[in-house]
Copies of this chain bind each other. A is one copy, B any other.
């Protein structure tokens, strides 16, 4: 005759509502209905439910499961590969966020909520976890961050507001220079790059020319940082990097780095 909805639900570990839903969306249709309209599931329905729950468990959206289950073996393999890519990305991200939380917990020795806001020197709420990993990878040193944490631990809303305001002004001034066609290696642009470096040194950490160079590269190489500047004005990230490079070369030539 067939199994009723609650039997199937119990056996498969899902809710009756879930089975209703799956029927509605065409993911799992019961093989039959009683005269009273009760859903009646057959063995092949149960077999399909197994498949559905397997793919659901792997994170496939239901709509996609419908498609996958009606596809060829090659299509199923391709779907699994794509899902793997997404899962790998999630796993990496989870790991990075764990590192971020660990860092946040380590550094919570004072009372401020803002212990990790050295990240904000990059002018917006960037992904804190990826930011840290990448800056570390690029710079290969952690002392600057330790120094930054020590300083910013005591900052309050006023300080952060000031930081934000300064950063915004710098960004705007750079955009105006670029708009006016001033060369990135010219004195005005370098002056702004130097102001940027001073801003970092004032609020966060010592920023020698070499480190500043690295930061400039990061602004261009990383899509998120680039996006921050590109939002202000197209090409601004590269402009700032070039200004930083020119400024760094000048500092190094003067032996002041």
Known A46-B161, A54-B128; further 19 A-B contacts with Cβ < 8 A = A12-B125, A13-B125, A13-B126, A42-B161, A43-B158, A43-B161, A44-B157, A44-B158, A44-B161, A50-B120, A50-B160, A50-B164, A57-B129, A58-B97, A58-B101, A73-B111, A76-B108, A84-B98, A91-B94
When distances are taken between beta carbons in the complex, the residues of chain B under 8 Å from A58 are 97, 100-101, 128
A164-B43, A227-B13 known; A94 vs B104 contact (CB < 8 Å)? no
Provide the bound-state CA to CA distance between A77 and B109, in Å. Answer: 10
A14 to chain B, nearest CB (A): 7
Interface of A: prevailing SS:
helix
| Interface residues on chain A, number (Cβ under 8 Å) | 71
Is the Cβ of A97 less than 8 Å from the Cβ of B59?
yes
Provide the bound-state CA to CA distance between A81 and B119, in Å. Answer: 21
Provide the bound-state CA to CA distance between A113 and B71, in Å. Answer: 10
